[in-house]
Structure 1
Amino acid sequence: MITPEYCQTMARYNAWQNTGLRKMIPAMDRDDLYKDRGAFFGSIMRTLNHLLWGDMLWMSRFDGGEAPDPDMGIEDSFDMAPTPAVWAADRFRMDARITLWANSVHAVDLVGDLEWYSGAMKRQMSKPMAICVMQLFNHQTHHRGQVHAMLTAAGQKPDDTDIPFMPEDA
């Protein structure tokens, strides 16, 4: 279904997209970042924090590393990083973690089921690993799309988001 090369490409894409955001977000006016813009999570920062939380949660399931505080559910994820500068630093580290995982994943690691307890569903889950990995990358793209729209509405000019235009060195 998916390959290690898919994971590596999507990890590169994630890091490329977030590099642009990490340059833009800390320089923006705080009111613009926290303004409720009618998106699912409201503001740019709430959406970026939720995405960081989701990446950390999925990566903990994939690599066994650090997970968000077990008491921090989706509704608490919006305030994960208290400032844009902290978000940028945490995002940089998370993107490196995702890239490291993607560069070390083997085809056999993408086969079989992943089991975990879902706080959102309030039950034990079991799904094919490949589906879970696709969820990580799809979730990123979905919420970054929301952020892109909110940034545009705030008068910013986010970078291109098309995968074919990703620089080779990204």
Structure 2
Amino acid sequence: MVDPAYVQTMARYNAWQNKSLCDAADLLDDEARWRDRGAFFKSIHGTFNHVLWADEVWLSRLIGTEKPPIGGRDSVTYFKDWAEFRHHRAERDAAIIAWSETVEHAWLRGTLIWYSGAAGREMGKPRALAIAHLFNHQTHHRGQIHAMLTAAGTKPEDTDLFLVDEPR
């Protein structure tokens, strides 16, 4: 069940995993981060960009933050500069954690209505489901990033959710 504690735990998990993967990606040069590795969004950097872009789209729907200035097809090139991406990713992760601390049970029971570019129509779903999707989407694509980083010779941290608040 999606409740405020779930949202807070997943927000912390998101930030931890993004930092771990970004730290591992720091060990690669730009060419290696942008190399087509056969993933859905082709490269490590492109997949990172897509996840950040999607986080911003979903947060704009959920809490009214600013939408990304580009559409979904361009999400892989959202931030071309690695340092700029890292800075923006860290800022967004901090914002997601801050937002998670404000989520209340009653708000989660409401319905989210938005226009879906992917579906080509207006959608309505429970907010709790939209939030579960936000975090599931991140985890799915970070798994791809983890695999690409490992294949590229780096060693990201473990991804187990139960380790999120453990000292490392």
> TM-score scaled by structure 1?
0.94
Percent identical among aligned pairs is 50
Helix, strand or coil for the counterpart of 1:104?
coil
Q: Give runs of aligned pairs for residues 81-100 of structure 1, distance below 5 A.
A: 81-100=79-98
Q: Is the 8 A contact 1:114 1:126 kept in 2?
A: yes
> TM-score scaled by structure 2?
0.95
Task: Give the paired residue count.
Answer: 168
Corresponding residue of 1:16: 16
Q: Deviation at 1:27? A: 3.9
Corresponding residue of 2:112: 114
Q: Deviation at 1:25? A: 2.5
Gaps of 5+ in 2: none
Corresponding residue of 1:25: 25
1:152–1:27: structure 2 CA closer, same or farther, 3 Å change rule? closer
Deviations 1:14-46 (A, max 9, x none): 011111123232342111101111111100011
Q: Structure 2 CA distance, aligned partners of 1:40 and 1:23?
A: 22
RMSD: 1.4
Q: Give runs of aligned pairs for residues 12-161 of structure 1, distance below 5 A.
A: 12-69=12-69, 72-161=70-159
Deviations 1:84-121 (A, max 9, x none): 11110010011011101101100011112100011111
Q: Deviation at 1:169? A: 6.3
Q: Is the 8 A contact 2:149 2:155 kept in 1?
A: yes
Gaps of 5+ in 1: none
Q: Structure 2 CA distance, aligned partners of 1:8 and 1:169?
A: 18
Q: Is the 8 A contact 2:27 2:154 kept in 1?
A: no
Helix, strand or coil for the counterpart of 2:26?
helix
